[in-house]
Amino acid sequence: MKKINIAFMMLALLTVNTLKAQVIAGWNLKAYSTGNNSIPGSLNATTQDANIETPVLSRGSGLTPSYFNYAYFSDVTSTSATGNTAINAVSNGDYYLVTLKAATGTMNITKINYQLYRSANGPNTFRWAYSINGGAYVNVGTADVTYTGTENLGLVQSTIDLSGITELQNIPATSTVTFRLLGWGAATGTRRFGLGRNASASDNTLILAFEGSLSATLPVELTSFTAKPQSNTVQLNWQTASEQRNSHFEILRSANGASFEVIGTKQGHGTTQSKQNYSFMDKQPINGTSYYALKQYNEDGGSKLYDAISVKTTLTSEWFSVAPSTAGISLRVDAGLSEKANISIMDVSGNKITERQLLLNKGVNQLEIENVMLAKGKLYLVNLKSASINQTAKIIK
């Protein structure tokens, strides 16, 4: 059983408390009434976490302000013949938008709490969706929300749980999340809908609130990552200054810096404020220049890919050897990855005797190059070349 000292337990409890779900962005509309302060086209959050950039609530292009006490209310400008399906509402701009972005560290978004308000002829079907960095919108919630009431203060809707959506957890400060509240199904006549209402100028209720947590630091603070050739291996070392809910690392390798494969994993240290040192040895490296990267996974499934580093390895003849055989020559190749390769045989004057194409499998390959006429007692050069290999060995028949 692992021993956990009291100091570590206290630190873990403090870390959990800083990540406790709370309102990270909320809007209260008590300051806005037709008599004193009409709500503009966009509205900054009236309450927000200290580690989040100013959240903004705004209207889509198909909505125009409709001033009403203590509500963020709008007229639907599309004609009665349109706007009655979700697709129409998207194309018409019949929606509200909210942007959320961490100032530093990472952001988790776990819940949406909101209160709808509508006129008798306003949209009666609603849907929340999110987009990250301008990508395609992804619907949230178990189903579209149907609301046909016209209560004086609107109606609080069921909370939408986002905690199971991986994309909305551990969002780095480089990413912006946009939420969209779509409304459709309006009837003929004056058609309005929005968020609200607060009961009075003294009502402190949040009409719209996003819950979650923010961390001012990254889940894992990586301070160094190095790759060093050692004989026919590559030694990888990295260090972290602190870790929060760190599950494990994947070690990735590439021959071209673009396409990576997983070559190993290393268990993380969970939550710790102490420096941690990690190491991994690639026992079957790629000859020549190769690239290594780390992908870190949190305990809740979130991940972060760190920048790749490059290393140049010159493998010795242990991994590539040639010998004469009855029919030609025998090759032994311990390949770092599966790929196509060319084998060419030349004499010392540079005259090419033959050239063949091979398919190397990752690991040890024992190959025969047949029908090769080599003069007895003469020196030849055998060159093996691929995207990751360029090695030459000598042979005497």
Local mean pLDDT, 10-residue blocks, the chain (397 residues): 32 35 91 67 92 95 88 82 79 96 90 95 95 96 93 95 93 92 88 91 95 82 93 91 90 91 94 93 86 90 87 76 85 85 89 91 88 86 85 84
Dig out the tokens for 277 from the structure. Answer: 């040192």
Cα gap 167→294, rounded to integer Å? 19
Sign of CA dihedral 85, 88, 92, 98: positive
**Around 171, how many Cα atoms within 13 Å sit in the side-chain half-sphere?**
26
Contacts for 61 with CB less than 8 Å, ≥ 6 apart? 92, 93
Question: Using CB atoms within 10 A of its CB, is residue 193 exposed (0-12), middle (13-18) or buried (19+)?
Answer: buried
pLDDT recorded at residue 316:
66
Cα gap 198→29, rounded to integer Å? 6
| All domains in the chain, ordered by first residue | 19-215 (2.60.120.430), 220-313 (2.60.40.10), 320-396 (2.60.40.1930)
Dig out the tokens for 30 from the structure. Answer: 């008590």
b/e 222-231 (16+ beta carbons within 10 angstroms → b): beebebebee
Cα gap 228→236, rounded to integer Å? 7
Please tell me the pTM assigned to this model.
0.55
- pLDDT tens digits, one per residue of 146-172: 999 999 999 999 999 999 999 999 898
